[in-house]
Structure formats: C-alpha cells, structure tokens
Amino acid sequence: MSGRKQQLLKRHRRRKRLTLAGMLLVASLLGLFVSWVLLPLFLLLVWIAHEAWFSDHLFYAPEDDYRYEFPPGTPNFPVILRDGLLQVTDEFDTQQTLILQVRVRSQWLGRFLDPQVWIGDDRQDLERGVAGERFLNLTGQDVGLIAGTLSLRGRYCTLASNAILYVLSNPDFGQQRLLVVAPHADDAELAAFGLYSRASDVTIVTLTQGEIEAEHYRDMGLDATAAARLKGRLRSWDSLSVPLWGGVPQQQCVQLGYYCLRLDAMAQAPQQSFGSLESGESDIRNVRRFNSLSLPGDVDGEPTWHNLVADLAYLLEHHRPDAVLTSHPELDPHSDHVASTRALMEAIELGSWRPRTLLLYANHLHDNDRWPMGPAGYGIALPPAIEPLPADGLWSPVLDESVRMDKAMALGMQHDLQGRPPFKRRLRRMIQRLLAGRRWPRTGEDEFFRKAVRRHELFWVRALDVQQLDDH
C-alpha cells in the first residue's frame, strides 16, 4: 500500500471513530431521557445503517470533479442530451474509444442507492451523492450515437443537457506483439484476459510467487511456513497454466519467482537479497523450473532488484514487443505494482529494445475500493482522478458475453480468488443487497468477479520516447 493511500485510510478511520463517538453520545442521551431498554436496538440499527450505506472506502468527496486531460489534438465534440437521446452534430471516426464528459447530480434517493447512468443497454454506476464532472465510457455504442438513437438517462441522478464527447483513436494492439507484466498471478487475467485471449502474439511474465497471506492453507493444518510455500507453488502454477484457457501456451508464460511485498525494498537496495516474508525461502529458482527460457536470475537465484531488472531486459530483447502492458504507476497504489512498472522502465533503459507503447492498467485504486462500481457485466466508466494525471490516451476494447464468461472462469481458476469471503463481508453484502440494492455475480464470491468481468477493459496509452526514458 502506498504512503498516500495509508494517509487516506488513516483519515477515513479517524472520521469513522469520531462518528462512532458521536453515535455513542446520542445513545447515552437516549438511555438517559428515554429508556436504556432501547439502547441495544438503537446500536443495532446504527450498525446496520453503517454496513448498508457508510462502509465504502471513498477517500474523496462525491462532489469533487474528476480531472482528466487527453493528449493534445484529441478530437472532441459538443453533445446535446435532448428527449433522452444523445445528439452529436459533427462526424467522428467509428470503432474508437469514446468517452463522454458530463456533469451528474445525485437525487436524494441517490444518497442511499447507487446512482446509475443507462447508456442504451449499458449501465455505469457512480458514487452516492455524486455532484460533479464524470467520464462515461461509450465505446461500442458508436452506431446508435451516429444515428441519434442512443439513449442516456439517469436513475437516482440527473444529467446535464450539454456534454463533451472525446474520440480517442488507437491501433488494435491485439494485432501487435504484446508483453504483459503481471506483478502477481491473476493480475494479467483481471486487467487483460479479453485482450490477451485474442492477441496474435503475446507473452505473459509474472514477477512474484504470491506466497503471503496463506491463512486458508494454515486452516488445512499446515504451519505458517509450509502454508506460504504451498500457496507460492499454487499461484506460480496458476501464472503458467491459467493463460492456456485464453489460448496462450505455457511456453509463452514466464514466472520470475520473486517474493510478495518485497519489490519496493529490493528497489531501495538493488544488490541486496530479499527473501520471502513468510515462506522462509530465498531462492527464486524453486518456481522457475517450468520456464521455457533461461534468464539472468537463474545463475545465482538471488531475489535482488539487479536480477529482476536483468530478467525483464532479457525478456524485452527476446520477445521484442511492440507494446507492454503494465500497472499504472500513478493510479495503482499497490507497492508491488508500482515497483513492477519501475523495474520495467529500468529494463527498457538498460536494454537495446524499445517498445513503442505502454498500455497501463489499474487493478487497485488510491481513492475508491469499489471501482469499477456497479454490477458485473456492465461498462467501465473512468475511475476517480481528483488529482491531475498525465495526459495519456485511452483504449477500451469491448468484450462480448462469451468472452466475459471465459474471463470469469479464468478468475475462478486462480487459487487466490477461490473460497468464501469472511462472514462479516458476507453479512455486509446481504444487508447491502436488501437495503442498498447491490448485486454480486454468481460466477464467484471474490470482489474481483464483480469488478473485473465487464463490458470493457480499460488501458491508458502512453507512447514511449527517448526523453521519457531519460526522465524516468
């Protein structure tokens, strides 16, 4: 977790403690002036209300505007919402990524139920109490938009009658040579299963074993060390085998075997070895035996930053990708994700092969743990951007229903996404289902089955040039 997100979480918890203290004061007054018999009922109702409406980790005000800038020269067109239909007076290129900037204001009921924006047959949910500029994803809706038959309506919210349509043009990166950098097993599937399952030439490299937080395996009777080792072996196997479900052979998958939550420390001391926090292991070769390539780190098996960068540089030279998919360094706060992109950039600088494009994805966010909001199967609106981001392009390929089901099954094969959530989370979901109208898919109980299996996948497009590498 990044320092910024830790600060946001501390502030969130401080506010929650103050709110609870206020509730206890009210409860005490209720007991003094009404009846202590009602106190347990009052506290129960307060807890239910908290779980239904106030338990989201939202680290910004819903009234804040999202702040996005796109590359200079990005075509944009005025749009009018008239009689529930979107009207664009100018012509634009079809089959491109379409983003609609529009001001949304929550109705009173939208403070208790998630505001929904319906775009034809698509639905994109927003924060409760929303009152600001938002960016909706209209990709795949160009036929109806051009014909003037695409409807746009809010439920529990109202939409401004004037909006701006951004048209972001990209090549089909699925037809280019791709390298996917996944910090952990399942990151490639969460971010890009739809893309890599139709790509003509793709390699997936997973940086870590994923061995920590192995409580589930301790429940099987293993001690902490044995449980972590088993989890690391299973998730390493997942990283090599699950992509086959998407048509990527094992020979095109590489497991580097570094250890979870150690990449940032490795970056701070590049020559120092950092073994696992839980498994007791410190030789990355233990899970590399199924790799089809010999890598620089195989020589000594040391989990060092020097070896990680050398491994990535070798893979770049060997596969010569046109585009590399990696975690968004400004949006995704997970320390391993931030460090993985940093290692990639150093590897590009070190080697002689220069990919033309970075495709950036965000499987986690600083500011909103529920994004993408709303049920599985619907579209992905742009995430919160309260602080300015680099002016990257966007590419948002559309996944049809059969690909979405295949993606859900790929997630179901990942050991870290299996099993039942804790009882408290299941109880919270039941309360939110009854009182807040939220729904979760039947394909899996982990939150990522809701967040990742969507009508769109979303990538920020960042062109690489020499100046960017020198500035890194």
Q: What confidence category does residue 161 fall into, taking pLDDT thresholds of 50, 70 and 90?
A: very high
Fold of 173-364+400-407: Rossmann fold (3.40.50)
- Contacts (Cβ under 8 Å, ≥6 apart) of 252: 202, 203, 204, 243
Q: Edge-to-edge strands of the sheet including 323-327?
A: 253-258, 201-208, 177-182, 323-327, 357-361, 459-463, 393-395
Give the tens place of pLDDT for each residue, 201-233. Answer: 999 999 999 999 999 999 999 999 999 999 999
Of the pLDDT bands very low, low, confident and very high (cuts 50, 70, 90), residue 31 is low
pLDDT at 17: 64
Convert 220-236 to b/e letters by CB count within 10 Å (16 or more is b): eebeeebbbbbbbbbbb
Query: What is the length of the chain?
Result: 472
pLDDT at 29: 61
The span from the first CA to the last CA of the chain, in angstroms, equals 22
Asked if omega into 355 is within 30° of 0 (cis), the reply is no
Does residue 445 carry a pLDDT above 90? yes
Q: Are 48 and 433 in contact (CB under 8 A)?
A: no
The arithmetic mean of pLDDT across residues 328-345, rounded, is: 96
Phi, psi (rounded to 5 degrees) for 121: -95, 5
Question: In terms of DSSP bridges, do strands 357-361 and 459-463 run parallel, antiparallel, or are they unpaired?
Answer: antiparallel
- Whether residue 104 contacts residue 186, with contact meaning beta carbons closer than 8 Å, is answered with no
Q: Name residue 122's beta-bridge partners.
A: 119
DSSP E strand boundaries for 399-468: 459-463
**If you average pLDDT over residues 161-170, what whole number do you get?**
97
Average of per-residue pLDDT across 141-158: 97
The domain locations on the chain are 3-54, 173-364+400-407
Q: How confident is the model at residue 54 (pLDDT cuts 50, 70, 90)?
A: confident
Summarised one tens digit per residue, pLDDT across range 255-268 is 999 999 999 999 99
Can you give the pLDDT at residue 385? 94
Mean pLDDT taken over the chain: 92
Q: What is the pLDDT of residues 296-312, one digit of tens each?
A: 999 999 999 999 999 99
Q: What is the pLDDT, as a whole number, of residue 470? A: 45
